[in-house]
Structure 1
Amino acid sequence: MHIRRQSDDAVIDPSNQQTIPMTNYRFGSWQVTINRQPRAKEDLARQYDAASRNWQQKIRRYGLAAAYRRSLMASGAVTALGKVGSQARVLDCGVGSGALSTALSSILSQSLNFCGIDLSAEMLARADVEMRQAGLAPDLRQADILSIPYNDATFDVVMAAHVLEHLPNPQLALNEMIRVLKPGGMLFVCLVRRSGFGAFIQMRWRTWAITERQGVAWLRACHLENIGCQPIRLGSCAGQASTAFWARRSSGPGRPPETASATEKHEGDA
């Protein structure tokens, strides 16, 4: 019997998803889909609390600091923040140990205002140490990315590294990130991509593994502009395990974010 794996973009609907899609196969006229329940927020926070002890070792092992710097430079975030000046504000959602924020700070020519949120109290404590050692004075809060504790249009850059893929509906988190982003501001996210190492992460953490076309479709559904993406190459044989995506919020009035359209959802794999 011929077994064909169906295009993942054609079967994943983030607007109607209560589980994390793992894989989908078609056997002739039969279709087999495997999903997993996402971790509850409390469970995810406990898991990251435990992981926080060795998180910096993983950051160094996979060369995340250098990988983040390369993608941030490619996105144009540094140039955009330079135009705003020292009053610019950056929000790191799911800040973890602060690796993405410190990577951005290391390639800026001036000090900015960094804020961060995370479900994990232990990760926030680690981020406070790491970011202060890097010369930052962050405002860190224990909070959910689905309910960001800041006012509308507060930040010039809103970013998240390997956070959205934990959620059954990443589109809701994107909408909330855009809510606190200033008109003309930049959204920057890193997502686990489909790869051998990505499959390991997907099984270990119950995350999505996301194609470039799928990620771009989600950003288009939010009516963002100047969308770009770039594979992130990690060390320690992980290869291109993630993708960086970036886009800008429109400077003028526009439609509010909504879930992906049928056309965008049915684009093929990258």
Structure 2
Amino acid sequence: MKPSSAPRTPVLALALLCSACASPGRVLPEADRGAYPEPPAAAVLPDLSQLSYNAMANRYLLPLYTRLPPREVYCGCTFDTATRAVEPAACGFAPDKPWGDDATRGARIEWEHVVPAARMVQALGCSSRAACRSNEAFRLAENDPYNLLPALGALNARRSNHPYTELPGEPRVYGRCDFELEQHREQRQQLGRVEPPEDIKGDVARISLYYSQRYGLPFSDAEIQQFQAWSAQDPVSPEERYRAAYIRKQITGWANPFVE
């Protein structure tokens, strides 16, 4: 799939169009659900366009991790579902070159946008993320819980808006964490690429493909091919399937068809 040549402003307008035609997702046979039962349905779904992504995630998404193992995605750190606190030494987060905010952000989880909000801002042609929030389509895309994963705050900071890719040599500079970052400066900008852990590459891929389909977000041919390969190499796990079903029934009302 090539990046869209259409005008930039309406790219994410598909969010509004799809809300009327979204599929509730198929219910899987019991044998295919792994160890997790079908989650209950919420009596009333939240209005995603009226919340900040942090408020939405803390109120509606965080309770999911009382049903699933409460692990963040980049280092496998277990977190406290009441406080979002992490014990970084217990899961091996030990960066070779510590940053100034490691003491605080390394001890808590944050909500990582798998598809960066900056990419949505670019697609819409807004001057800033704050400016984009006047657009309901952007708010829906920024707040979409399928795109939010719990991540160690310090690694969320290092990931920044860098795209995911395969990095040669498997550079490991964050202790036992399977999080690899390559950075360089170009025209006064800090550019980089990130390789996520092997066991979440499929999750990353299926979230990205979902954003391409639901919100019309443009990805390059190379990115789409990479996502398809990652999705094939790392199939949907019972935890990922339950997470998607929980989000569908408790928060959005629509499915990620690349998972369910």
TM-score (norm 2): 0.31
Q: Which protein is richer in strand relative to its size?
A: 1
Q: Which has the higher contact order (CA 8 A, sep 6+)?
A: 2
